């Protein structure tokens, strides 16, 4: 177990019976005391099961683990991804033009903006209807083919920023290797006017390449000039120019990444091409600017008022010391419908580790299971468990303060709907925190009618994040906030958040199973369960159609 003084103190403090009703009764200003704001985001963490003593010891813990130095290592290009011996420079992807970051004798900022400049040329060609398909018609539909970070980030951001779309070009996303998404799209899209973006850091991911090959065959069925199809209907994004060329991507249509860009941190790079096509490069740069604002806040703000530091330390307190094994992200805004999915990968792929940087097994809980949904949908799905189940779950509530304001109001009922959404967001966090204690007297009396069936235990910890409004800039800040939260937690847990070896083993094993499906023989070379399943599949002719 960890011998750090603050760690030992926090372990003892976690054994005390802290209750949110009592904590709020003790401090009338608690709602203001346990809050912080930056980058147009207000964070209320007063409904977390902490007091000043716990918070101070969490801050002490950060200092004992030299968090300030670790933040500097991340932002200045040190090799924080030690198991792969490389930097994690996603913050450099959103640095303004003109800044300098020298890593291994190279100005990373210059390379990043050269890549973005090439992307901007392609974006303008597509948006201005200059880019033409094989028949001479302008592109009307763009399909982003990727998986993981090459899909989740762009999908989430284009959905969240749909109101900033100023083009009639439709952007679609394909990720699943079973072909369902692509099959559905090709039934309705016109091959003459469809452009595919193949996003793959390694350009070897089977999920992505299987979809890319199917897309190519679909286009060749409409027009058999392979060179023309590849030149006019495919853009490639990868670290491997050689592999893109080998597949057939024209050099004019190749956008390059770097090894130090982790997939789940890559949407700020040319991986975000689909976002830029949808909302334009100016708004894409605003997205980057918002993230850069959070980077600067993370770098210089005192830890007591540093949003990513506080969010990360609270996450450690809940998962490691209070043994809360689940965390739910609950945005009360339909535009953020894919945000919980995005964070699922960001947090669980980064911090789902049980071995520390020294290669030793950790003796404590690390990343909790994370999931979520739009708040109003979640209320009618899993809030029952949050309020009356047997599991403790920590939650993040996220909502914009302003929506449908100014020129956007074309129907007064929309403005009222936003108030309803805000009301539900605030009300749900109250009941989770205080249980029956949150209810007004007239409702408490009605609760007695059914006794224990209408009891809400409360003491479910939550943080509420209020955005001034949802815009490219605030979305950038919000995403960067969670990226840095992940890093803070990894420092305290002493794990590497930038590798993902657990993702690789299943892929390797799948190749062996795939080869087995290619034959009609029964080799029985796997475990008895897999052998039996393969037997059923082969006997029914599966895998060969």
Contacting residues for 492 by C-beta, under 8 A, at least 6 apart: 61, 62, 65, 67, 312, 313, 316, 320
Across the chain, which distance is largest between two alpha carbons, in Å? 76
Q: Which of 323, 432, 413, 326 is nearest to 375 (CA)?
A: 432
Cα-based distances in Å from 206 to 38, 211, 400: 41, 8, 39
Is 163 among the catalytic positions?
no
Q: What are phi and psi of 234, to 5 degrees?
A: -140, 135
Reduced to 3 states (helix: H, G, I; strand: E, B; else coil), residue 197 is: strand
Q: Distance between CA 180 and CA 201 in Å, rounded?
A: 23
Q: Distance between CA 505 and CA 513 in Å, rounded?
A: 13
Q: Distance between CA 187 and CA 182 in Å, rounded?
A: 9
Cα-based distances in Å from 348 to 61, 311, 383, 385: 22, 16, 22, 22
Is 507 among the catalytic positions?
yes
For residue 251, how many other CB atoms are within 10 A of its CB? 10
Q: Which of 303, 337, 317, 467 is nearest to 394 (CA)?
A: 317
3-state helix, strand, coil in the chain (%, to 5): 55, 10, 35
Contacting residues for 463 by C-beta, under 8 A, at least 6 apart: 43, 44, 45, 47, 48, 311, 314, 395, 396, 397
Two tokens, residue 161: 């920023």
Is 349 among the catalytic positions?
yes
**From 349, 353, 483, 485, the catalytic residue:** 349
Q: Distance between CA 140 and CA 169 in Å, rounded?
A: 5
Q: Alpha-carbon dihedral of residues 281, 284, 288, 290, nearest 10 degrees?
A: 130
**From 97, 137, 446, 507, the catalytic residue:** 507
Residue 416 class from Cβ within 10 Å (0-12 exposed, 13-18 middle, 19+ buried)? exposed
Q: Distance between CA 304 and CA 307 in Å, rounded?
A: 8
Q: Distance between CA 139 and CA 188 in Å, rounded?
A: 15
Beta-strand ranges (E) seen in 301-460 are: 326-331, 369-372, 394-400
The distance in angstroms from the start CA to the end CA of the chain is: 54
**From 26, 380, 452, 540, the catalytic residue:** 380
Q: Distance between CA 501 and CA 37 in Å, rounded?
A: 36
Two tokens, residue 303: 């830890």
Q: Distance between CA 543 and CA 519 in Å, rounded?
A: 9
| Residues with active-site annotation | 349, 380, 507
């Amino acid at each position: 177990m960890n011998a750090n003084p603050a760690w030992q103190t926090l372990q003892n403090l976690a054994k005390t019976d802290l209750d949110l009703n009592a904590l709020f009764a003790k401090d009338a200003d608690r709602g203001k005391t346990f809050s912080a704001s930056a980058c147009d985001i207000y964070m209320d963490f007063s409904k977390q099961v902490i007091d000043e003593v716990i918070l101070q010891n969490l801050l002490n813990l950060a200092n004992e683990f030299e968090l300030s130095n670790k933040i500097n290592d991340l932002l200045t290009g040190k090799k924080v991804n030690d198991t792969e011996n490389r930097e994690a420079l996603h913050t450099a992807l959103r640095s303004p033009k003109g800044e300098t970051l020298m890593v291994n004798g190279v100005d990373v900022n210059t390379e990043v903006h050269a890549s973005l400049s090439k992307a901007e040329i392609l974006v303008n060609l597509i948006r201005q209807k200059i880019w033409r398909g094989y028949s001479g018609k302008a592109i009307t539909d763009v399909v982003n083919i990727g998986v993981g970070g090459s899909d989740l980030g762009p999908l989430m951001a284009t959905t969240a920023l749909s109101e900033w779309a100023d083009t009639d070009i439709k952007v679609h996303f394909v990720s699943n290797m079973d072909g369902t998404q692509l099959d559905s799209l090709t039934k309705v899209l016109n091959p003459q006017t469809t452009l595919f973006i193949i996003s793959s850091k390694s350009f070897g991911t089977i999920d992505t390449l299987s979809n890319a090959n199917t897309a190519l065959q679909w286009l060749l069925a409409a027009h058999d000039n392979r060179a023309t199809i590849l030149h006019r209907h495919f853009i490639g994004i990868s670290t491997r120019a050689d592999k893109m060329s080998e597949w057939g991507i024209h050099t004019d249509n190749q956008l390059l990444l770097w090894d130090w860009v982790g997939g789940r941190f890559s949407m700020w790079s040319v991986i975000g091409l689909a976002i830029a096509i949808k909302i334009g490069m100016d708004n894409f740069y605003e997205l980057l600017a918002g993230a850069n604002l959070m980077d600067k806040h993370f770098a210089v703000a005192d830890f007591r008022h540093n949003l990513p530091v506080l969010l990360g330390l609270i996450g450690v307190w809940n998962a490691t010391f209070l043994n809360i094994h689940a965390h739910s992200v609950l945005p009360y805004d339909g535009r953020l419908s894919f945000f919980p999915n995005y964070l699922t990968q960001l947090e669980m792929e980064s911090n789902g580790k049980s071995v520390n940087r020294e290669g030793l097994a950790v003796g404590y809980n690390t990343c909790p299971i994370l999931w979520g949904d739009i708040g109003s949908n979640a209320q009618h799905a899993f809030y029952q468990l949050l309020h009356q189940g047997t599991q403790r779950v920590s939650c993040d509530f996220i909502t914009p303060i302003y929506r449908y304001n100014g020129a956007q109001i074309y129907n007064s009922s929309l403005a009222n709907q936003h108030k309803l959404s805000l009301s539900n967001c605030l009300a749900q966090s109250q009941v989770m925190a205080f249980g029956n204690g949150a209810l007004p007297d007239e409702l408490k009396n009605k609760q007695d009618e059914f006794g224990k069936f209408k009891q809400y235990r409360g003491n479910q910890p939550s943080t509420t994040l209020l955005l001034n409004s949802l815009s490219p800039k605030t979305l950038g800040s919000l995403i960067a906030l969670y990226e840095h939260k992940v890093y803070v937690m990894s420092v305290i847990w002493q794990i590497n958040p930038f590798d993902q070896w657990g993702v690789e083993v299943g892929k390797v094993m799948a190749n062996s199973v795939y080869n087995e499906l290619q034959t009609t023989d029964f080799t029985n070379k796997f475990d008895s369960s897999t052998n039996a399943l393969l037997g059923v599949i082969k006997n029914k002719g599966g895998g060969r159609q």
